[in-house]
Amino acid sequence: MNTSVSAARAAGEENVQPPATLTLHRASAEPWALAIHGGAGGRILELGEQADYESGLREAHAAGEAVLSGGGSALEACCAAVQSLEENPLFNAGRGAALAKDGRAELDASVMDGASGLAGAVLASRHAKSPVRAARAVMEHTDHVMIVDPPAQLVGEWSLEVANPEWFVTERRLAQLRRLLDKSESGPRHGTVGAVALDANGHLAAATSTGGISAQDVGRIGDTPVIGAGTYARDGLAALSCTGEGEAFLRGVVAYDVAARMRYAGCDLPSAVAATIEETLTEKGSSGGLIAVLPTGEMVIAHNSPMMFSAYRDGAEVRVHL
């Protein structure tokens, strides 16, 4: 396991016990902040792939920042950033997402608004072109928190774009599925995209979207659409979006565990993240990571996997990690 530590600590946070990699960032002089991730895993990119992934992350971060700089909400910024990643077939969300054993994409997504405490999620979605927009629609247009595979008619009633299930399938993912099914490929098969944001009004939000695990059993659900496991936001506390081995994040209720350590035990964010990753992931042989933002605009990006795609603003520059 990668044991290198990269940390930029704020004053007074010397009690941090970092996981494999934990970084703490102050966004900028702006009254808003945004961090995004494109998944955590073990596959190191080839040199020729890096530019495409970096471009995709920068484009998604710019989409979210455009909302915030225009006075928009943290929730809309998260949805805009995640939707951009869903539309990029390089990432495991939306078009180009991982395929289940039957060769179809079953897409999960969730959102949580820290201001209202409301949340929405879709599970095994096959008809909404943007699963994260469908998750938001569940929150805003129904009395529910979760809906499994909202049908095309309902997606249309939400004024969202409908896509045929085949639209999500790419040749790259089909080829990967064949290799996994015939046992010619092994290694990490998961991946997720997500965003956390603070807006100029001091509100927090989080959004997460995924295709799950390549060659997963039909109907399998991970942590992404489960509020408290893969996504969590509470004004005055933090917003978090997770990525990694979904079953471990479900069992550890990772996003909420971090928030609970802060709220009830008085931990600072880096210490809470470090303890949660160590106890719920590392000690149990699981891997993954998360992004989080505080009401102050400080952001934590942490993972115990060999790599994690992320983007955030550092002063005048947007930094991308692959």
Q: What DSSP string describes 149-165? A: S--HHHHHHTT--B--G
Token reading at 165: 């299930």
Token reading at 271: 């210490």
- Which residues share a beta bridge with 299? 25, 293
Whole-number Å distance between alpha carbons of 87 and 94: 6
Whole-number Å distance between alpha carbons of 307 and 322: 7
Contact 213, 177 (CB under 8 A): no
> Out of 23, 192, 208, 243, which one is annotated catalytic?
192
- 44: Cα within 13 Å, side-chain hemisphere: 3
Non-local (6+) Cβ contacts of 224 within 8 A are: 108, 109, 110, 192, 208, 209, 210, 212, 230, 231, 242, 246
Q: What are phi and psi of 177, to 5 degrees?
A: -60, -45
Token reading at 16: 């941090």
- Give the pairing of strands 146-148 and 119-125: parallel
Contact 242, 192 (CB under 8 A): yes
Contact 85, 201 (CB under 8 A): no
- SS3 at position 310: strand
- Which residues share a beta bridge with 244? 288
Q: Is 243 a catalytic residue?
A: no
Q: Which residue has the tokens 């990006």?
A: 301
Closest C-alpha to 38, from 285, 241, 287: 241
Query: Which residues participate in catalysis according to the annotation?
Result: 192
